[in-house]
Structure 1
Amino acid sequence: MERKDSMDLVGAAGMVGFAATLAFNQVVIKVTNAGFGPVFAAGFRSILAVGLLLLWCLLSGRKLNGLRAALGPGLLLGVLFSAEFVFLFNALDMTSVSRASILFYSMPVWLTIIANFTLPGERLSRRRALGLVLAMAGVIWALADKDSQSGGTWAGDLLALCGAFAWAGIALTVRLTRVSEVSAESQLFYQLGVSAVVLTAISPLFGDLMRAPEALHWAGMGFQVVVACMGYLFWLYLMAIYPASDIAAFSFLSPVLAVGFGWALLDEPVGLGFLGALALVAVGVVLINRRKRV
């Protein structure tokens, strides 16, 4: 696998496709929630995705290495992953895709703030500080937008924000613990395996497990399983080829596309004010993730 110094057209197309898939998956989760209880859906997705991951490892000859050596941080990774999707799936059950996505994909903002105090070499530069200010202003503006408020609830918005914090915790766990030394497949196994157990166990606490699922909901579940397993592995494949900063620069696309999908497919209210807030968040995320070349 040839390592490249910059993003090329093939890599850019792959990242745009990946961002669009993640954005569309937000719509799929919301639609699928009509047939399954949100937490049960997240757990069932993890169960099926673990099976798909093991099949992938069997067919590709890849191994789940280092599971015992990184057991503690691996379990933490799985618990944080479980929390992330308890928050996100319930958020999408209670608020619009547009509002949930802009809050959930604000994760780089909170990760940058935390990393400034915990990770060496991650001090805030003036450019990144400007990105933080713009992105946070965009989040506040989005929450205050009256047009989009009719499609969501404050409780759902808060859950989406909590999901972003859990996601940031996953990133920090990978950076700060021995779980970074194991393979990508092993990291994913910890996340899917632990969440399959945790989410399924706690799902009865969140209401009915089934909400009369139909063919559309089962199809949505299948799509989510593929995204949860193969989508993550595809992203790691790109990370192995292209610079991490170039990959991160595309992260603004997911909330932008999610808002578009929510408006086009679910008829969610999106006014000019909300689009302005989204633009601030997108620009802020680009400034936060951009790295100087040396």
Structure 2
Amino acid sequence: MIVLCAIWGLQQVAIKVAVPTVPAVLQAGVRSTIATVLVMLWMASRGQPVWKRDGTQGAGLLAGLLFAGEFACVFIGLTHTSASRMAVFLYTAPCFTALGLHWFVPGERLRKSQWVGIALAFGGMLLAFADGLSASHTGRSTWLGDSLGILAGIFWAATTVLVRATSLADASPSRTLLYQLAVSSIALLALAGVDGHWRIQALPPLVVASILYQAAVVAFISYLAWFWLLTRYMASRLSVFSFLTPLFGVSFGVLLLGDQIGPRFLGASAMVLTGIALVNLRR
């Protein structure tokens, strides 16, 4: 789980590195397309049918569209904010997920400690957002990218709730992942075509490595590893580690990209991380 959190935390840095060369939405579409092919090959190697009528098509299509919305927000948002800030705002998703499950899935009621965690995380999110707004007088305001990061977290949470509350709950993990990747690849590539963002400059090795990392390591290997862990350990115990991902994201942003973070953003990040930990803790 610690290795997976590090992989996911590095994702924002990898996207940020490639954005100047490969337009954001096109990059997201290429990532999903490569990962779709890899998942299909994986399913075929295990004798799993890539397509079958099992009543999950409608929910799968919606999950794919939500997944596309999430990563469109992440990739576009990273052109307007830093990787460190995106890591914090995106990973408020567990708090939105807890609220969604509380409202839409029977038996998923929030306890007092979880309500405290949500309040703490949202307070930290507001403080971090205000920190980005305060930089507007210098021309470095990050409010648009930060807003897209929050919206991406909401899309992510909506996808999780949809999977738990519909027929996808009984589908195999590889099929659920395939729905998300395949639908998002079509939607994101179409969006890139509508925007006219298909032009790519010469691809330096670092950019190629970034895209392959996003597609093969993050969207394929790490997601399958996560599903494998879920078959062997309780989800509640694994989810406690989720606060490590934004911690890795902020650390990698500072170390690898030189992101500048002030004391107010550090305090806000600490509030968000503590809130996420409280939301995911179980008795």
What TM-score comes out, normalization by structure 2 length?
0.93
State the alpha-carbon separation in 2 of the partners of residues 96 and 152 from structure 1.
11
1:272 positional shift: 2.3
Secondary structure at 2:219 match in 1: helix
Secondary structure at 1:145 match in 2: helix
Structure 1 window deviating more from structure 2 (149-158 vs 38-47): it is 149-158
On the 8 A contact 1:65/1:182 being kept in 2, the answer is no
Given candidates 147, 150, 166, the residue that maps to 1:161 is 150
CA RMSD of aligned residues (A): 1.8
CA 1:107–1:50: 2 relative to 1, 3 Å: same
Match of 1:41 in 2: 27
Match of 1:222 in 2: 212
State the alpha-carbon separation in 2 of the partners of residues 67 and 263 from structure 1.
47
Given candidates 108, 117, 124, the residue that maps to 1:131 is 117
The reply on whether 1:18 has 2:4 as its aligned counterpart is yes
Given candidates 53, 75, 93, the residue that maps to 1:107 is 93
Match of 1:256 in 2: 247
Given candidates 192, 199, 210, the residue that maps to 2:199 is 210
Match of 1:269 in 2: 260
AA at the equivalent of 1:166: F
On the 8 A contact 1:133/1:284 being kept in 2, the answer is yes
Count residues with an aligned counterpart. Answer: 278
The reply on whether 1:28 has 2:14 as its aligned counterpart is yes
Match of 2:232 in 1: 241
The reply on whether 1:281 has 2:276 as its aligned counterpart is no
State the alpha-carbon separation in 1 of the partners of residues 8 and 75 from structure 2.
14
Match of 2:179 in 1: 190
After superposition, the C-alpha distances for 1:57-106 in whole angstroms (9 at most, x for unaligned) are 23344444755421110101111111111111101121111111111100
Match of 1:11 in 2: none
Given candidates 157, 160, 165, the residue that maps to 1:171 is 160
1:273 positional shift: 2.1
1:243 positional shift: 0.8
Match of 2:65 in 1: 79
On the 8 A contact 2:133/2:142 being kept in 1, the answer is no
AA at the equivalent of 1:206: D
Structure 1 window deviating more from structure 2 (192-201 vs 204-213): it is 204-213
Residues 49-64 of structure 1 mapped to structure 2, 5 A cutoff = 49-64=35-50
After superposition, the C-alpha distances for 1:219-259 in whole angstroms (9 at most, x for unaligned) are 11111111111111100111111111111100001111101
Gaps spanning 5+ residues in structure 2: where? none
Identity %: 36
State the alpha-carbon separation in 2 of the partners of residues 217 and 63 from structure 1.
34
Gaps spanning 5+ residues in structure 1: where? 1-14
The reply on whether 1:141 has 2:127 as its aligned counterpart is yes
CA 1:79–1:146: 2 relative to 1, 3 Å: closer
1:143 positional shift: 1.6
